[in-house]
Amino acid sequence: MLRDGSIDVNESTWAGAGNGRSWQELDRELRAFARRRCALDAEEAVVLRAAVRAEIWRELGKGSMLEYLEEVLGYAPRAAQERVRVAIALDELPELAEALATGELHWSAVRELTRIVTPMTQAEWLDNARGKNLRQIEHAIAGRKKGDKPTDPPDPDLKPRMVRFEVKPATYALLREVEKVLADERGGRLDDDSLISAMCNAVLAGGEDDVSGRAKHQIMTIVCEGCGQGYQDAGGSRVAIEPEAVERAECDAQRIGSDREPQRATQDVSPKTQRFVRRRDGGTCCVPGCRAARHLDIHHVVPRAAGGGHEPENLTLLCDGHHRALHEKKLTIMGKAPNLDVRWAHHTHVGAARDATPGRADEAAAGRQPSASTFAVVALKNQVKEALVQMKFKKHEATHAVETAAARLGPNATLEILLRESLRCCPRPTR
């Protein structure tokens, strides 16, 4: 009570909060809430996996699983994306899933652990995480990559950097538009790192892609002879970079010597070959379902370290996001360009980059049917639907035609084949 007789809201709130119960009782009740929430999160993950595989959003007329989760469960897009990611990851991490179901670990802790834990390391990380809060778990996994053990020394130079910007509403609106454009190109929402990387590459590329055939990266040899750590000059400072980043740069490099001895600039892939590859591949990323056609990297299908050369058949185009995924071992590309076989991690078949699908006969001989990534198939169908709508077909006609064609062709059809078959399924124009 204040001197003038009014009531302090905070004081009154705290005074009545307990309703006569002791703090021990309140603590027990809140802990019970937390355990029940963990159990629900574990049950939700099981149902989410099944929902993604069944593509239930299509039955309800939604554009994607993220849209469905936003409308039905109230998750924001980023939260929905994380829920789906964790649910799929837990399918291969039964010990983490059990820890969530029993309340041993809460969902936020499991979310962080699934970024680096593998089936072989889950037991060790589970032991390491026991008794730690979220902040301690975040600190434990910082600087470590997928497959690392808790006993492996972290690399402090490779910890993610926190970057914060304060912008005006108009600039924020521009950022959202850029996110949408890049998400449409890549066939899915980008995480913060991929978004900033794509925007930086766009600026450094100087607008439209250079058609001169000049290599994208100039490499100053800055590698520690003792440990092999690579560094990159950045605005006057030298920053440690991941081995995968060095590998990406090596794919499309112009060499200008070392920091000890300069040399005349030489280019791994000649401008003539670069121009040929870009024309041959149509100036687009070779991953099926990806519509990126700007700021593309040249990639060696067989790495130089494995004996791969600079011949056009060993070169293809990749957008920044898929190039990063490949060097992070989340994606594999095999074959001779332009007839390439693209697979996500765990041997999930995405499809042929162009018209041929080397490796499918091997799978069939082994008794397995190759299957395309669900998200890649959805992106491909949407691309064909948009093309049909631009040809003046009605939206429901385009949807029916694409679904009919896809059912006939199966999940591994290329863009050209699916479009051709969809046109056959479209109603003939009436005079």
Q: Could you report the per-residue pLDDT of 206-219, keeping only the tens digit for each? A: 544 555 555 555 54
Query: Could you report the per-residue pLDDT of 94-109, keeping only the tens digit for each?
Result: 999 999 999 999 999 9
pLDDT at 117 over 60: yes
Report in angstroms the alpha-carbon separations of 76 from 55, 63, 68, 70, 71.
19, 15, 11, 6, 9
CA distance 9 to 4: 14
Report residue 168's pLDDT band, with 50, 70 and 90 as the boundaries: confident
- What per-residue confidence (pLDDT) applies to 364? 35
The residue behind tokens 């130089």 is 304
Cα 298 to Cα 270: distance, rounded to the nearest angstrom: 11
CA distance 52 to 425: 27
Supply the pLDDT for residue 233: 62
The tokens for 98 are: 């059990």
Query: Does this model's pTM top 0.75?
Result: no
The least confident of 76-80, 332-336, 410-414 is 410-414
Nearest to residue 290, comparing CAs of 395, 400, 403, 190? Answer: 190
* Cα of 421 vs its chain's centroid, Å: 30
pLDDT mean over 162-169: 81
Task: Report, as an integer, the average pLDDT of 105-134.
Answer: 93
Which of the four pLDDT bands, split at 50, 70 and 90, describes residue 400? Answer: confident
Dmax (CA) for the chain in angstroms is 87
pLDDT band at 372 (very low <50, low <70, confident <90, very high): very low
- % of the chain exceeding 70 in pLDDT: 71
Gap between the Cα atoms of 421 and 62, Å rounded: 24
For residues 134 and 236, what is the distance between their CA atoms, to the nearest angstrom?
35
Domains of the chain, first to last? 26-158 (no CATH), 169-365 (no CATH), 374-425 (1.10.8)
